[in-house]
Amino acid sequence: MSPVEIACDESGSEGENLVGGETDVFAHAGVRLTPEAAAACVREIRRRIGSPAEEYKANHLLRAKHRAVLEWLLDPDGPLAGHGHVHLTDKTLFAVRAAVTLLAEDGTDTMARTLHRTGPAAFGSARWEFFLAAFTSVLRLKPRRGVTASPAEFFALVDELAAVPGEAGEIVARFRGGAERVAAYRARLARDPSFVPVLDPLVPAVFHTVRHWSADGTPVAVVHDEQLALTPERVLQLKAALGHRLAGVRFVDSRTDARVQIADFLAGVARRIASDALNARGDTRLTGLLKSFVDAESVWAAVSS
């Protein structure tokens, strides 16, 4: 069976910087369009917007004066209906899930979601955010900004929060035995350049993108905007995990491939719409239009958004 080419791009990528960064949502989009259909879509967007800009980005579509163009792009009868897919990652939930998976011996997704829901109220928002920032710090060999904490300092904080009554404190108490796992993780990260950091949402998002488009058994050839985090070693790991579903990955400059430009549009508007919904300022109409594109396996809390 011949592979189908899926053009991909992302929005909100800050690597392992999940807490306290510029964005709170990571979005990875894949589109299945012919080069001709994608080029026609780009031309129509340019015609409808009418801006003299040489390169259009998602921000053009997100301007209030171009609302009709954005709705047209996402509409069930629009050019992307059945041809677009988005995997969303709530970065805070992703960090909490990483903590539960790595630190709690019997950690589950349900446990992570419970801690994500109850942590801010149990510990106070500022303390909770500091805790997550400290956790992400100890898993990064060279944190570049924000909170920095040694493993000893982090586990002292674990002991402090574990004493708080309630579900959140009980879950954090399970992290007390995680020091050896953190040490082993840091050691592997230092010696193995192919190791995928548990804090980087890109590789899991690509995995889900390929899985979505290969659900009928058709192998997928990914055409991705240039992305340094997708190293040859990590692409090999994706191939090992996906088997025949992933036919290959090649990188292009988004300015030279209209399909990737459309993926860039979709990822960018999805990230903004999802972030607004996450922060209780969502637009009901746009959120509803986006839902048809969102992967059911997105790292997202089970709330109305």
β-strand partners of 251: 224
Distance separating alpha carbons of residues 172 and 34, to the nearest angstrom: 49
Domain with CATH 3.30.420.10 in the chain: 4-89+198-291
**In this predicted model, what pLDDT tens digit does every residue of 62-107 receive, in sequence order?**
899 999 999 999 999 999 999 999 999 999 999 999 999 999 988 8
Across 228-243, average pLDDT: 91
DSSP 294: B
Backbone angles phi, psi at 128, to 5 degrees: -60, -45
What is residue 304's predicted lDDT score, i.e. its pLDDT?
45
Residue 212 has pLDDT above 50, yes or no: yes
Query: Mean pLDDT, the chain, as a whole number?
Result: 92
Q: Are 268 and 260 in contact (CB under 8 A)?
A: no
pTM over 0.95: no
Question: Which CATH fold would you assign to the domain 4-89+198-291?
Answer: Nucleotidyltransferase; domain 5 (3.30.420)
- Which residues, other chains included, contact 203 with Cβ-Cβ below 8 Å and sequence gap of 6+? 196, 229, 230, 234, 237, 238
Per the model's pLDDT, the better-predicted residue between 149 and 36 turns out to be 36
**In this predicted model, what pLDDT tens digit does every residue of 254-303 receive, in sequence order?**
889 999 999 999 999 999 999 999 999 999 999 999 999 999 999 998 55
Q: Which of the four pLDDT bands, split at 50, 70 and 90, describes residue 146?
A: low
Q: Which of 115, 118, 154 is nearest to 134 (CA)?
A: 154
What is residue 142's predicted lDDT score, i.e. its pLDDT?
74
Q: Are 29 and 274 in contact (CB under 8 A)?
A: no
CA 149 remoteness from chain centre: 25
Distance separating alpha carbons of residues 96 and 136, to the nearest angstrom: 10
234: tokens are 């990590």
